[in-house]
Amino acid sequence: MNKILLEKIKDSLQSILPMTIIILIICLIFGTQASDIGEFLIGAFMLIIGLILFTLGATGSMMPLAENIGSYITRKRKLWFLILIGFLIGFMITISEPAILVLSEQFNKESPLIFILIVAFGVGIFVVVALLRIIFQIKLSYIFIGFYSLIFIIAFVLNFVNPSYVPVAFDSGGATTGPMAVPFIMALGLGVSLSRGDSRSEDDSFGLVGVASIGPILAIMISGLFLSTPTESPSETFTLWGFLGKYLIEVGIAIIPFLIFFFIFNFLVFHFPKKKVIRILISFLYTYIGLALFLAGANAGFVSIGDYLGKAFGELKNNWLLVPAGMLFGAVIVLAEPSVIVLNKQVEEVTSGAISRRAMMISMSVGVSMAIGLACIRVLTGINILWFLVPAYGIALILLFFVPQVFSAIAFDSGGAVSGAMTSTFLVPFVIGAATILGTNVLTDAFGLVAFVAMAPLVTIQVMGLIYHIKLKEKIDDSGDDEIILLDEVEK
């Protein structure tokens, strides 16, 4: 337990400290008030403690529960049962996802619950799609090409009917798959894959997060055809303790369905011994406290300081400095996404080191940095988001035909993983603050940043996979059978 705790502390410090130090330096350059800096530092400390407790809890409760459920619903061999449980899990995991809670309040302050429920419904549907893909062995490329083509057709229509919903729809796809969803969905998929007894079971566990990310994009776009544009209203102002009290209640409500789910399955199916039940319940408690601290720290520290710095850069005579500042934040913020840590570790293990954590992190960091730079350019110029997304997704979908499936699956999973809670709690307020000062339309020009972050790994990681694939083929041309076996393993 001590070894696991030390590992979580190390991961949390590596995640939060670099971003905290950079933000602190920039705040000092702008002469930020000491009280605001103090609140930011307290928020950062709460983020670190919250992330430690959350990851400890998720490892001991969410992931084993998901894997056991995935294995059980497949062994039952009842399609209706798999569909029902898959939908419920996708729905519940979304309601408890930190980033979507933050994004919903930023987009629709008057009725964030409606936004959350629409997104949760979309995720639930596409978790089912992801599981059915494993069961029926449908190619990932068919799903991504088919559904993203549908998304962009609806996006073009929505761009004329209700353009405010286009950026936030793509944002919701990235924000949904964060520290709650990534480990849970991947563990669920692994459970389903392993129970099939297929030699490709571990590879099949990738791609689920990418498929699940499609659901909220479609759900929000379709709802945008019928709902009115939300009116801007002032944000709620809380003290640090006010935020903590708020999220202790909200996270408690979000965790309760999981507890009920666990008790039902344990009573009817698992029959875990008493000691294991107690350990899982303690893990749920860690998850609850950690998530509440994380959200409170993020809102009390990072949201307000992000908004402040965005306005500060927007007020500069040389406001183009917003772009390099955003790129710097983008390069570092990847380290602060808890779901990225989980994904990179699983990728390295499943690919037996063929894709190292270091290579994954460098690739995502460069891609996200460039994506944030483009998002900031959009804030300064007001260019329609589709001028950026259509070419980028077009390239990503074309690469599906040339890159081994495991790399494509990892790329689309990474798109969801990099755009989680830290992106929503700092970078989105950063561009919203800049847009407010510059007088541009916040809903159409500032929202969409999460979509840019999610878009970057789709191209960068697939390009990395393509390069790896080409080099591997060159080795095979000059060598014997051993490398041919390795190629087969990578292309599975």
pLDDT tens by residue, 26-64: 999 988 888 888 989 998 899 889 888 887 887 777 777
Residues in the chain: 492
Domain count, the chain: 1
Residue pair 45/327 in contact (Cβ under 8 Å)? The answer is: no
Name residue, tokens 């991504």. 144
DSSP string of 334-361, one letter each residue: GGG-HHHHHHHHHHHHHTTTSS-HHHHH
Nearest one of 217, 228, 224, 230 to 108, comparing CA atoms: 230
What is the domain extent for residue 237? 2-491
The predicted model scores a pTM of 0.81
pLDDT given at position 142: 92
Q: Per-residue pLDDT averaged across 207-214, rounded?
A: 88
Residue pair 444/163 in contact (Cβ under 8 Å)? The answer is: yes
Q: Per-residue pLDDT averaged across 6-15, rounded?
A: 77
pLDDT tens by residue, 411-461: 888 777 777 667 777 888 899 999 999 988 888 888 888 888 888 888 888
- The rounded distance, in Å, linking the Cα atoms of 372 and 377 is 9
pLDDT given at position 322: 94
- The rounded distance, in Å, linking the Cα atoms of 54 and 41 is 19
* Range name among 95-104, 219-228, 241-250, 315-324 with the lowest pLDDT average: 95-104
- The rounded distance, in Å, linking the Cα atoms of 127 and 208 is 7
Give me 218's structure tokens. Answer: 């479609």
